[in-house]
A and B are shown apart, each in its own frame.
Chain A
């Protein structure tokens, strides 16, 4: 095979060559900017690097100006707990005992639509490597998922593949899957959201950063070989330069090998323990281009790379493709010469291939050669950090007022006992609220032996030390609320995740987010995005939980139809003694059931309205002071041993909350709703800032004193009673456990087999 490599010398001598920058997704002025940075035209390898590093996915060029708020509106709590903030691969939070926790959420939406199994699998792989890069041992994962309507044919292609991919990859890594979400809405049909969160634990003195420093240090690529997967758009360059016999198209979705990642995790743990690396970076989007330019840029150094040393799975790959390849299960480390032998010995022990592909220097340039020819010579910052930044225009959509005015007040409401009972059963059986066991039973929640709570509990909790220190994580998001009011929608998503963590007895500490939106070039979408970030930043400040990092996924749009604006918010909490966690299931006969918070007539964006085919009005009111108060009560009451169970009230309202508690425990309860309230509102309103607590009789006085002291309204709404075998809503109806169970557990098997 013959092919001409486009060298730096060629670029200097042939400035007039036309380059396919538009096909690579670069705008004309971006291309001019590259020429300006270099003082010449880029080589095709350089063009490939810039194009992918300046893509929306890697550069955050449309979102950056909005994401800055997370660094500006920082709660005072941050300085006490944040060891590493935004900008690194993942934020790191101090949890005491010399330990820190790192966590992050990312999207793998587009690949999962194209190829559900591999897209979802490599989504797990990628987020796990982000956590690994911080020096941590990954200890848990969770997957918030969103699909089109549950009965849509394409959902039946995408969902089973995504779930199998998450299980197939995550189970093989040995990471317990402790939570997540499965949500359906027709706007996700052509744009499913596959987000993945990973949590890791790292001793303070082992935290790693991704900077290349120390002239003379080796740059080592280790892990899987580099192949032609995930090259995507860059094949434009390759097909230009390949002869006719060469491959013309390559798959754009990466293929994962979880076994390769598992041994990479173990090898990295030993490398960190033995302190063998100066800096480390995972290879994800933009592959070697990203790792080399970011590490050199972070280290304010230079780097030289011999690209022909990269171990290849496919020897016909062109240098542009090697630079771009998103082959999975690869890491890049900077290693001092005197540690090289020990580094290689660890890699040999785990059968991990490792090759020194470059060297750190003081040149301030990233230079790459290919069989003796210089093909890249760039200032690394211009590739990694000084990409274009856009102030995209945005405007409140013209339809927003009409949408908000269309409140669900005119929908016929159930009133009789039979009607209310039917409404409860319908909600419990709805795909958004039904049992997700069909999904989560395909994930290993036991591995590592530290899972204290997992789905369907309010948050997942894993033990991280032998003496019982634990971390809790929950993710939440409600796109319907976001559509009605993106500012409030973001705050409600945060409030729910925060509340869920507190409900299980853990103190909420920090936030990660995955912001899933339509096209940023659409002024409506951009307004939703601006409002979401503003709402989230304001709420984080108020709740005292800093944002540690996150991810933005734009272009989740089919034609003119964007997905619901969907911020998925992850909250991390800490619990001093996992034995004190509060489970969802009530237990003791005679224990009192208390509702904290206030309930009003709030059905805008509710699940009940959704089942009537309605979306309009305003989402539930946000009261962050109240959220903070009830969270404090949840944590304090758990610590003082006042609770036997708790469950937050959210989608579907109080009725669904109580049904879930009864089903989880297998015991029934007698419920008496307030006399002066409409039972429909009491049961199904989605007012925020509410938690159901179950309190043994002996602790009721201390519990109510705690509520009174904080000025939180508490209503005694029932008693656990195993003789009932159902939910008996006094003066209204009884729903038997058997029929609730059939409703809840029948939905997924009947939809997905």
Chain B
């Protein structure tokens, strides 16, 4: 039986269908989850996709955090359920305090859509085990509020514990502190990043196939478990 990976749709989610497609291409079953329905339908992992949940009113991800489905996602994540937050999903994870720090408006004050090189800094999370440490991958980036910020103590802690999962290479696109593109929790089951791996899973539509590793990693972990 293939792994079942839930993809949450909030009102204003945009990349939910894309994330589901990536899950299928990687060989798992994509299970649609609805923001207003607390039921996680017994999925083995959850993806919080990109977009503008609830219009990103108040702050990006601030309202989504309180969606009925999120209470169960938060509880399950604390219990070890693999959760990947992409872009708006990363923002929701920070607002939910599953991950530290916050995402603020890009320092260039503009929306940025481009193909971005990243370095994999941690290949031990459930979402990155198919990569090797130091590997450079090309993933589309597209956001207006992608600047990762945290206080120095938190940043030192993230670095010290190896919880910085991805760093921007060459040109930092949004002013993220210490070039941080993605981080994980202490247990390594929750990962959030601003770039969009679900847009790098087909040669025809993406700049590379480098995004497939996210979904392949979690599937491997679930099968092995």
Q: Hey, which bits of chain A sit against chain B, CB under 8 A? A: 164, 167-168, 171-174, 257-260, 262-263, 266, 350-351, 440-452, 463, 578-579
* B144 contacts the other chain (CB 8 A): yes
Q: Which of A164, A172, A441, A452 contacts B12 (CB 8 A)?
A: A172
| B112–A172 touching, CB < 8 Å | no
* B140 contacts the other chain (CB 8 A): yes
* B215 contacts the other chain (CB 8 A): no
Given contacts A168-B111, A171-B111, A441-B114, contact A258 B55 (CB under 8 A): yes
* B177 contacts the other chain (CB 8 A): no
| A442–B14 touching, CB < 8 Å | no
| A257–B55 touching, CB < 8 Å | yes
| A446–B110 touching, CB < 8 Å | no
Across the interface, name the chain A residue whose C-beta is closest to B140.
Answer: A446
Across the interface, name the chain A residue whose C-beta is closest to B202.
Answer: A449
How many Å from the CB of A90 to the closest CB on chain B? 23
CA distance A258 to B11 in the complex (A): 12
* B198 contacts the other chain (CB 8 A): yes
A-B contacts, 10 listed (Cβ < 8 Å): A172-B56, A259-B11, A262-B14, A441-B112, A443-B111, A445-B113, A446-B205, A446-B206, A447-B18, A448-B18
Across the interface, name the chain A residue whose C-beta is closest to B22.
Answer: A449
Q: Contact string, B48-66, partner A, CB cutoff 8 A, digits 1/0?
A: 0011101111000000000
How many Å from the CB of B60 to the closest CB on chain A? 11
* B221 contacts the other chain (CB 8 A): no
Residues of B175-208 whose CB lies within 8 A of A? 196, 198-199, 202, 204-206
* B163 contacts the other chain (CB 8 A): no
CB neighbours (8 Å) of B105 from chain A are none
Given contacts A463-B204, A579-B204, contact A446 B11 (CB under 8 A): no
Given contacts A447-B18, A448-B17, contact A259 B110 (CB under 8 A): no
Q: How many A-B residue pairs have CB under 8 A?
A: 87
Across the interface, name the chain A residue whose C-beta is closest to B25.
Answer: A449
How many Å from the CB of B68 to the closest CB on chain A? 14
Residues of B51-94 whose CB lies within 8 A of A? 51-52, 54-57
How many Å from the CB of B96 to the closest CB on chain A? 20
| B204–A350 touching, CB < 8 Å | no
Across the interface, name the chain B residue whose C-beta is closest to A173.
Answer: B14
CB neighbours (8 Å) of A450 from chain B are 205
CA distance A351 to B17 in the complex (A): 20
| A351–B11 touching, CB < 8 Å | yes
Residues of B119-176 whose CB lies within 8 A of A? 140, 142, 144
Across the interface, name the chain A residue whose C-beta is closest to B141.
Answer: A446
CB neighbours (8 Å) of A452 from chain B are 204-205
How many Å from the CB of A576 to the closest CB on chain B? 14
CA distance A579 to B204 in the complex (A): 7
| B52–A172 touching, CB < 8 Å | yes
| B140–A449 touching, CB < 8 Å | no
| A449–B52 touching, CB < 8 Å | no
| A171–B140 touching, CB < 8 Å | no
Q: Which of B11, B110, B112, B206 contacts A262 (CB 8 A)?
A: B11
Across the interface, name the chain B residue whose C-beta is closest to A451.
Answer: B205
CA distance A627 to B197 in the complex (A): 41
| B55–A259 touching, CB < 8 Å | yes
How many Å from the CB of B141 to the closest CB on chain A? 9
Most chain A beta-carbon neighbours within 10 Å: one of B17, B22, B144, B205? B205
Other than A167-B110, A351-B11, give 11 A-B pairs with Cβ distance below 8 A: A164-B111, A171-B142, A172-B12, A174-B15, A257-B55, A259-B52, A259-B54, A259-B55, A442-B110, A447-B14, A579-B204
| B21–A449 touching, CB < 8 Å | yes
The 10 closest A-B pairs by CB, nearest first: A259-B55, A174-B14, A449-B18, A446-B199, A167-B111, A442-B111, A172-B52, A444-B142, A446-B140, A263-B11
Q: Which of B11, B112, B199 contacts A442 (CB 8 A)?
A: B112
CB neighbours (8 Å) of B114 from chain A are 441
Q: Which of A258, A350, A351, A446 contacts B113 (CB 8 A)?
A: A446
CA distance A720 to B57 in the complex (A): 51
Given contacts A447-B18, A450-B205, A452-B204, contact A262 B12 (CB under 8 A): yes
| B112–A449 touching, CB < 8 Å | no
How many Å from the CB of A651 to the closest CB on chain B? 25
CB neighbours (8 Å) of A171 from chain B are 111, 113, 142, 144
Across the interface, name the chain A residue whose C-beta is closest to B11.
Answer: A263
Most chain B beta-carbon neighbours within 10 Å: one of A173, A258, A447, A451? A447
How many Å from the CB of B43 to the closest CB on chain A? 21
CA distance A260 to B52 in the complex (A): 11
| A263–B204 touching, CB < 8 Å | no
| B51–A174 touching, CB < 8 Å | yes
CA distance A449 to B206 in the complex (A): 8
Across the interface, name the chain A residue whose C-beta is closest to B112.
Answer: A441
How many Å from the CB of A262 to the closest CB on chain B? 6
| A449–B198 touching, CB < 8 Å | yes
CB neighbours (8 Å) of A258 from chain B are 52, 55
CA distance A260 to B140 in the complex (A): 26
CB neighbours (8 Å) of A263 from chain B are 11-12
CB neighbours (8 Å) of B22 from chain A are 449
CA distance A26 to B32 in the complex (A): 54
CB neighbours (8 Å) of A448 from chain B are 17-18
CA distance A75 to B57 in the complex (A): 50
CB neighbours (8 Å) of A449 from chain B are 15, 17-18, 21-22, 198-199, 202, 205
CA distance A444 to B14 in the complex (A): 11
| B198–A259 touching, CB < 8 Å | no
CA distance A80 to B132 in the complex (A): 55
CA distance A168 to B113 in the complex (A): 12
CB neighbours (8 Å) of B52 from chain A are 172, 258-259, 262
CB neighbours (8 Å) of B113 from chain A are 171, 440-446
CA distance A705 to B180 in the complex (A): 55
How many Å from the CB of A730 to the closest CB on chain B? 34
How many Å from the CB of A462 to the closest CB on chain B? 9
CB neighbours (8 Å) of B11 from chain A are 259, 262-263, 266, 350-351
How many Å from the CB of A477 to the closest CB on chain B? 25
CA distance A258 to B196 in the complex (A): 21
CA distance A168 to B105 in the complex (A): 13
Most chain A beta-carbon neighbours within 10 Å: one of B12, B56, B206? B12
| A446–B142 touching, CB < 8 Å | yes
CA distance A463 to B203 in the complex (A): 13
Q: Which of A259, A262, A446 contacts B57 (CB 8 A)?
A: A259
CA distance A262 to B50 in the complex (A): 14
CB neighbours (8 Å) of B110 from chain A are 164, 167, 442
CA distance A695 to B206 in the complex (A): 24
Q: Which of A164, A168, A259, A463 contacts B205 (CB 8 A)?
A: A463
CB neighbours (8 Å) of B140 from chain A are 446
CA distance A260 to B18 in the complex (A): 21
Given contacts A171-B142, A441-B112, contact A447 B204 (CB under 8 A): no
How many Å from the CB of B9 to the closest CB on chain A? 9
How many Å from the CB of A499 to the closest CB on chain B? 24
Q: Contact string, B1-32, partner A, CB cutoff 8 A, digits 1/0?
A: 00000000001101101100110000000000
CA distance A443 to B144 in the complex (A): 10
How many Å from the CB of B148 to the closest CB on chain A? 20
